[in-house]
A = this chain, B = another copy of it.
């Protein structure tokens, strides 16, 4: 089936399941646009999703996450594994597919049918990605990708939240004084299931490994001690072990019931965000009537207290 302009979510999903990458790209754009069509797609995808393992990859800008992700994809492809990559960049000015970014990222994988790579950027609304990313992941899952890598660009609150809402969360740091300590401050130590010290050929590797081990020893025991993998993504060094560590965590978390519990919590958090977003949308609908602006104007001028204003708007 060709993915023409009038295709419904049902038709596009069917085409994407049969390998139509243009259809899949259009489904991703549908998710980014939001609205009724995206909701219908979300329901369809939900019915057949759940089989994929999601891996969140986060760390400070410059840690080499993109290169590491690309190297991981190469390793997985060499093992015959299909994989999807979602690159999440809240600050990117690109929207609707970030075409340039995708082409750069695809690099070696551009002509490989076993890989799908997509960038998602915010559309001005901070809450947007928190809602759009799980939807996009669900579509990739429903289409049949067994593994979905979610790469975040920075360590802002939204990115950490997104990376932390995966089956397995990877934190990437570099050798050198203080890098692991910074990661700790950013709240990354608590969410890491696997640590990668990338650019391991640089000076300071031993110190950074020791820093991480020391901080890990302060974590309360949870049945899983995060492995610390040294990689040099540019040469592929350590990436096989990285892939194995991901598989180990997947096997453990499924067996221990941790994955199911995390997914349940994630589903509840997503419902919570949707409820809030829906309520906000209903209130914003008043905006068109001019009521909102008038009331906000009174509040801005401090002629009306905010509680009375809220009553006016919601009454």
Contacts and interface: CB of A to CB of B under 8 A. Distances in A.
A99 interface: no
A276 interface: yes
A308 B268 contact: no
Per assembly, the copies of the chain total 2
A157 to B, nearest CB: 6
Given A263-B302, A268-B299, A274 B50 contact: no
A43 B308 contact: yes
A274 B46 contact: no
Given A278-B314, A280-B276, A301-B264, A271 B306 contact: yes
Interface string A261-281: 001110110110011101110
Nearest to A134: B306
Interface in A266-305: 267-268, 270-271, 274-276, 278-280, 283, 295-296, 299-302, 305
A263 B295 CA distance: 16
Nearest to A60: B185
Contact of A296 (B157, B268, B310, B314): B268
Contact of A279 (B270, B279, B301, B306): B279
A27 to B, nearest CB: 16
A98 interface: no
Size class of the contact patch on chain A: 35 or more
Interface in A8-45: 39, 42-43
A82 to B, nearest CB: 23
Contacts of A300: 264-265, 267-268
A279 B283 contact: yes
A307 B43 contact: yes
Chain B CB within 10 A, most for which of A50, A275, A278, A295: A275
B39 A270 contact: no
A314 B279 contact: yes
A309 interface: yes
A216 interface: no
B274 A276 contact: no
A91 to B, nearest CB: 13
Contact of A42 (B274, B275, B280, B305): B305
B314 A299 contact: no
Contact of A283 (B263, B270, B275, B310): B275
A76 interface: no
Contacts of A157: 157
A180 B294 CA distance: 42
A313 interface: yes
Contacts of A314: 275, 278-279
Contacts of A307: 39, 42-43, 274
